[in-house]
Amino acid sequence: MSDHKVTIIDGKAVAQTIRSKIAAEVCRLSETYIKVPGLAVMIVGQRKDSQSYVNMKRKACAEVGIKSIDLDLLENVSESELISKVHELNVNPDVHGILGQLPLPKHINEEKILTEISLGKDVDGFHPLNIGKLAMKGRDPCLFRPCCPETCYYILTRHGITIKGKNVVVVGRSNIVVLPVSLLLLKEDATVTMVHSRTKEPESIVRNADIIIAVVGQAAMIKGSWIKPGAVVIDVRTNAVDDPGKKSGYRLVGDVDFQEACKTAGCITPIPGGVGPMTVAMLLKNTLDGAKRVIEG
Ligand code: GUN
């Protein structure tokens, strides 16, 4: 029997703690100023995964007393119509944050839409100027840092894990998580390596990581043997795999083989119940901060 002990991070519990603090702050704003924070949650089209994320975000808003302003647009909405919607939200005083669920349909230029979002309401932190500032040494994002990268940072600092000088390996290639989390941890003086589908010998690079951040979208691709003993493993992507034993016919797993990883890792986030709920809580936190800036100055 191995006496290896792994810390499994309970993302749901941490998210609940963050949400309770946000709810108390929303209550205070409401009592003091008769105003509540508002988050515009915009979805274009019928993608099942996006709908499920958006529903979670709207439900989370309701739970803490943030008003969600819901925009459900048809798949064939034109780029100019979408831009006008964003402009309306930019000047709407009840809206303190604007979230456009990604990906957008192919006929819409995502960068164009993100550029139109007012910097003061860019709670996702995806405005090209915010990402550019995140990329540059000595410059910080104007107001908001992207939610999932911020969650990874929060997990590390909350568990007393030093980032400076550590080997961080981020697996994947997305604009939403991989790029901003790499930039954010580089700012914190980590040595960051990005491993993607064209990387040679990814396994040997991952094995050198003190901190692994997995954002691939391939169920259990990172095996226990890839993980250095004691490494911190942050598993971000949720994958559905067939499971005839479940009523739904599927179960959710991460990019990391969780059972195997638990035998080696020092600390790990599970799926479900890890990064996901905390990321939604960060979005609420960004919205609250945006509202406080406007309401309290
Ligand atoms: N699609 C997947 N994750 C996200 C996210 O965090 N924000 C937005 N806007 N779209 C997403």
Does residue 202 share a domain with residue 114?
no
Cβ-based neighbour number of residue 96 at 10 Å:
27
pLDDT of residue 259: 98
Give yes or no for residue 276 CB within 6 A of ligand 1.
no
The CATH code of the domain that includes 155 is 3.40.50.720
List 124, 210, 235, 255, catalytic entry = 124
What is the mean pLDDT of each successive set of 10 residues along the chain, which is 297 residues long?
A: 88 98 98 98 97 97 98 98 98 98 98 98 97 91 92 97 98 97 97 98 98 98 98 97 96 98 98 98 98 96
Decide if 187 is catalytic. no
Is residue 6 in a domain? no
CA of 236 to the centre of ligand 1 (A): 12
pLDDT of residue 75: 98
Does residue 155 share a domain with residue 103?
no
Is residue 178 in a domain? yes
Give yes or no for residue 124 CB within 6 A of ligand 1.
yes
Closest CA relative to residue 214, chosen from 160, 259, 155, 174 = 174
Q: Which atom of ligand 1 is the closest one to the Cα of 102?
A: 10
Is residue 86 in a domain? yes
Nearest residue (CA) to ligand 1, atom 11 = 102
Decide if 259 is catalytic. no
Q: Which atom of ligand 1 is the closest one to the Cα of 50?
A: 1
pLDDT of residue 141: 78
pLDDT of residue 142: 79
Angle at alpha carbon of residue 215, lines to 212 and 216, rounded to 5°: 115
CA of 105 to the centre of ligand 1 (A): 14
The CATH code of the domain that includes 51 is 3.40.50.10860
Does residue 42 share a domain with residue 104?
yes
Does residue 65 share a domain with residue 172?
no
Give yes or no for residue 56 CB within 6 A of ligand 1.
no
Is residue 42 in a domain? yes
Q: Beta strand 239-242 with 250-253: parallel, antiparallel or unpaired?
A: antiparallel
Does residue 114 share a domain with residue 207?
no
Does residue 164 share a domain with residue 259?
yes
Decide if 94 is catalytic. no
> Is 260 in contact with 221 (CB distance < 8 Å)?
no
Does residue 47 share a domain with residue 166?
no
Is residue 283 in a domain? no
Number of domains in the chain: 2
CA gyration radius, the chain: 20
Does residue 268 share a domain with residue 151?
yes
Does residue 171 share a domain with residue 108?
no
Is residue 11 in a domain? no
pLDDT of residue 1: 56
Does residue 151 share a domain with residue 269?
yes
Directed axis angle between helix 147-158 and helix 178-187, to 10°?
40
* Residue 62 domain boundaries: 33-118
Give yes or no for residue 100 CB within 6 A of ligand 1.
yes
Instruction: Compute CA distances 274 → 10, 31, 164, 196, 258, whole Å.
Output: 6, 33, 24, 23, 12
CA of 111 to the centre of ligand 1 (A): 14
Last residue of a domain, one of 99, 118, 137: 118
pLDDT of residue 292: 98
| Six-digit token string for 117 | 């979002």
